[in-house]
Structure formats: C-alpha cells, structure tokens
C-alpha cells in the first residue's frame, strides 16, 4: 500500500503578485512542465523577480500535473499561464504537437522578449522550437549534458541536443558541459558556465528544515527513486528484486521509496515490494520533504539526473540505476557509481558501502562538482546584458563547490 501525504508545504513570506518586477521591463518567459524543471527553474524565477529591467512570466505546460504544482508551491511560485497539456496515455508525438500549439498561443499572448527553459523534456524541446518559430531568443538552462547515446536516455538525449542547437544562449552547469557544446559547433561566446541551478534550489531548501514524511524503520535508510522510461518493465523488476534482497539480507537497512504515479512504475513496485517489512512505499513528496529524506538517508539509489547532483552536495553516496549518465563529473570524483537497473550489481554496491567504512567515507566526502549554489545569480546578469541593462556586480565566474553542512559519514557506522 502506498502511504499518502497531506497537502503541500508553502514557505512563508512568498506571496505572489502578477507583476513582481513592475509593469515595465523586458519580459522573460520561464517555461516549466515537470517537477525537476520547477525545482531547477525556481531559483532563476525568484532571482528574475528582483532583476532591474526584467519582468518574469511563468508558463506551465502541466506535463507533470500535481508534482509540478507542488514543486512550484514549495518555492512560493504560481504559474501565470497554465496550458494543462497532460492527458492519460498520450504518446510523445501527441504531447509534442499539443505543446507546440499551446506554447505558440501562449507566446503570442505574452509577447516575451526572451524564453528560458531547463533540461531535456518534451516541454523544453517544444519551448525551444516554438521560440525559434516566433524568432524569440531562447536560453537553455543546464545546457550541454550528453551521454552520446541517442536512445539512452530516451527521448531526453535528443531533446537536449535539439534544444541546444535552437538556443541563442547556453547556461552550462560545468566545464565538461561547455566542452560538449563546443564539440557540436556551438559558438563559444554564447556559452556561460554557471553551475547547476539545482544546487541553488538545494541551498534555498537547506534553510527550511521540515519533518520527515515517514519515520524510517531503522537508522540506515536507503532512499530510492526510479521512474525513467528506460527502466520500465523488466529493468524495474530487477531494481525491485534487488531492493527486496537488500532488506532481507540486512536487518539494519530499510528502504523509503516515493513511488512515481506513472502506471508503468507504480503497479510493478507495489506488486513486488508492497507489504514487505522495512520497505516504506509512499506517494511522491514535496521538494522540501525530499531534501529532508536525502539528509536522513544512508545512501541513495536513483535513476534521476537531479538527485545525482543533490546527493553528493549532502554528503550521500549515490548509486545510479542506469548504464549511462550525462553527469560524469561525480562518477569521476567517486561519489556516484553506475550500477544500472541490474540486481547483482545493485546488491554488490550496497553491501560494499554498508560494510566498508573507508569506502563509504570516500564516497560521502568528495567535493560536489556541480556548483556553489549561485548559478541563478550568474544567469540573470547574462540576460540583463543581452538587453543592455547594467546588472551590477555578480558572484564571480564560478562554479566552485557548495557545502551545505552534510552529515558526518561516521554516524552511520558503529564505533
């Protein structure tokens, strides 16, 4: 049984008005469609609200309906225009076509001077293409991530490549992402290395501690997220089989798994893990609650891109349930390990981290390579300069490391 949670958390002091930056200024349309986009665009939207000469408008495609709304609300943000595109069972071609038509109407109504979107979803590709059709400059946040495998992940890899070649400005999170863009012939002058806005969001959340959405059964909690299209079907069964064996073999371990509502995920997870002792299957939680879960975890298993960035920032080893990643920096640093959606590699990696305190410490104390939590403060001045507006002094070129006081790795091991 999935445990439901109450209504969303709304931080205090973030009342929204229709015109946060006044009625004048260049209009920047920020398009979001999924929960990760809402989280990673929130710091940019909040910074744009305070930017001289700019006015922000938030357009939601509703690609992830409830998850998106809750994530925006966690930062005190509401969409100015909601396109409501989500329909049960729709395919990629249908949602892409509907997104293009709906965004074209939204851009016609809002008349933005610049369009921003983050990441690699259908929303991002449609935003970039619609902006191009209307000859509006498009800025790609988190530009340059690549696996080099056209169908892994699918359709995200080609979404971000295509969006990158439609973009006028590229906000690359790391030097490696910048190199990826340069290899594709992107003009160096259009690329800005800013750090990842996901670390900005984590920095904002770090100052807002909230209770855990569930009390873990043991002190060594494994936090799990799995929802990617490439892990539907047999791979999800492999992941669940590994989790089942993990808790059966080690009574000190428990699992907390916020289960994605996708019908390709939830029935499989419930059928294989439902009712097991020390396995907590819960509904998706708000961003602030998820950060609290990450902080409390012993280690994290995920196929999410953003969690690969957030986990290392909190001093948590991350096992990635994929065979490739577009975020190689943390793998190279040693805090993230690719295990794929495969039972035996998952088991071996978990057992190694539970038994070897030195391996755990090395994995948990590597400096985060994804930025210092000030990416939005680098992105917004680029937009201001684009329109000839003096942005004033900024935080510097970055990105440096961000340390939100992660937990002591030794605390998870007996003396």
- Looking at the annotation, which residues are catalytic? 120, 142, 156, 227, 229, 260
Asked whether the CA dihedral 381, 384, 385, 389 is positive or negative, the reply is: negative
What separation in angstroms does the CA of 309 have from each of 162, 341, 385?
Answer: 23, 19, 29
């Amino acid at each position: 049984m999935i445990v439901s949670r109450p209504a969303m958390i709304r931080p205090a002091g973030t009342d929204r008005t229709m015109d946060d930056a006044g009625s004048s200024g260049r209009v920047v349309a920020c398009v979001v469609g999924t929960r990760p986009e809402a989280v990673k665009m929130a710091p940019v939207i909040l910074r744009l609200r305070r930017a001289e000469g700019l006015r922000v408008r938030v357009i939601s495609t509703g690609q992830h309906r409830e998850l998106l709304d809750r994530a925006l609300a966690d930062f005190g943000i509401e969409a100015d225009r909601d396109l409501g595109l989500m329909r049960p069972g729709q395919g990629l071609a249908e949602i892409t076509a509907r997104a293009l038509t709906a965004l074209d109407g939204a851009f016609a109504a809002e008349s933005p001077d610049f369009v921003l979107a983050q990441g690699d979803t259908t929303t991002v590709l449609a935003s970039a293409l619609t902006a191009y059709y209307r000859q509006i400059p498009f800025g790609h946040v988190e530009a340059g991530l690549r696996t080099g495998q056209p169908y892994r992940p699918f359709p995200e890899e080609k979404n971000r490549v295509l969006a990158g070649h439609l973009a006028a400005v590229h906000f690359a999170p790391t030097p490696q992402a910048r190199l990826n863009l340069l290899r594709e012939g992107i003009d160096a002058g259009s690329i800005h290395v800013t750090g990842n806005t996901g670390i900005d969001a984590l920095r904002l959340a770090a100052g807002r501690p909230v209770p855990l959405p569930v009390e873990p059964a043991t002190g060594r909690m494994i936090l799990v997220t799995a929802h990617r299209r490439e892990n539907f079907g047999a791979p999800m069964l492999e992941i669940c089989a590994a989790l089942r064996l993990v808790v059966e073999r080690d009574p000190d371990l428990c699992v907390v798994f916020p289960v994605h509502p996708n019908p390709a995920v939830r029935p499989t997870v419930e059928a294989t893990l439902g009712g097991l002792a020390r396995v907590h299957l819960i509904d998706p939680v708000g961003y602030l609650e998820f950060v609290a879960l990450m902080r409390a975890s012993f280690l994290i298993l995920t196929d999410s891109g953003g969690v690969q960035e957030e986990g290392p920032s909190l001093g948590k080893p991350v096992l990635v349930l994929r065979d490739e990643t577009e975020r190689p920096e943390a793998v190279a640093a040693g805090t993230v390990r690719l295990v794929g959606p495969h039972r035996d590699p998952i088991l071996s990696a978990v057992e190694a981290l539970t038994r070897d305190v030195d391996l755990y410490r090395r994995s948990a104390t590597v400096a985060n390579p994804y930025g210092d939590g000030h990416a939005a403060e680098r992105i917004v001045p680029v937009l201001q300069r684009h329109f000839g507006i003096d942005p004033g002094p900024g935080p510097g070129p970055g990105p440096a490391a961000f340390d939100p006081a992660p937990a002591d790795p030794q605390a998870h091991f007996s003396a």
